[in-house]
Amino acid sequence: MPPLDKPEAKKDVAPASLRWRLPSVHPDGRKFMVASAALMLVFFWIFGWDTLGWLTLGLTIWIGIFFRDPVRTTPVGKGLIVSPSDGTVTMIASCPPPRELTGPGGLSGDPVVRVSVYLSLFDPHVIRAPMEGVVKKLAYIAGKLVNPELDKASEDNERQHILVEGTDGIRIGFTQIAGVIGRRIVSWVDEGDAVLAGQRVGMIRFGSRVDVYLPAGTSSQVLLGQRVIAGETILARLGVTEVIEGVAQ
């Protein structure tokens, strides 16, 4: 074993700059925080309504939590597909992709593995690209107010479909699905834009789900009930069909 003071023995030591830092609030949420904080001040200092003051203080804190935009470290490698969102894996099923993502230049329409990730009201709602490529399709559909945990939300709720094609021609589709509270999907990319794996591509407000349609011949590398992290958790590896197993504990 080499002495501890040799460079090769220290190569895995994290530099001092790697430390925890408070996640920033995305600009989309700052206006809501300012409005809530102003209302809190009115209740506390102008009207002396302490109860409403404390309630709006709690609302201000929650808005900061909801709109937080943490820095993520995305694994880079051939064939890696990362989670586009934070949340809990609630469904893994074989089903045809949405018709908006199929056809010429899109997916084939044959059943593929769909991984659904549910975002609670306390998860960051910034959505990221699952792999590097070019945005080939964007399709927005206005919808209803169905609970995003239900399977029919994929067809009934407000949603935004995105199709990304990699440099090798592999295509992956994913869908942002709005929830039952203040529904709004914000997109930060257009058709023809190049994106990197883990790049921010949009946001969903408030409470929602993301469906990922894996390429043919690819199986999920996450489990039902597993917590995933946007831009970091590996959902799948292209061409890997081995099904993994796990245990809740």
Q: Are 60 and 25 in contact (CB under 8 A)?
A: no
The radius of gyration of the chain from alpha carbons, rounded to an integer in Å, stands at 21
The rounded distance, in Å, linking the Cα atoms of 129 and 120 is: 20
Q: 214 is written with which tokens?
A: 């894996």
Closest CA to 81 of 26, 47, 131, 42: 131
Query: Of residues 116, 208, 219, 220, which has the active-site annotation?
Result: 208
The rounded distance, in Å, linking the Cα atoms of 100 and 85 is: 21
CB half-sphere exposure, 151, CA atoms < 13 A? 7
Q: Is the dihedral of CA 23, 29, 32, 34 positive or negative?
A: positive
Closest CA to 88 of 62, 118, 110, 116: 118
Place of tokens 């489990």: 223
Q: Are 115 and 212 in contact (CB under 8 A)?
A: yes
Closest CA to 212 of 126, 124, 89, 105: 89
DSSP category for residue 43: I
Q: Is 208 a catalytic residue?
A: yes
Give catalytic residues, as residue numbers.
208
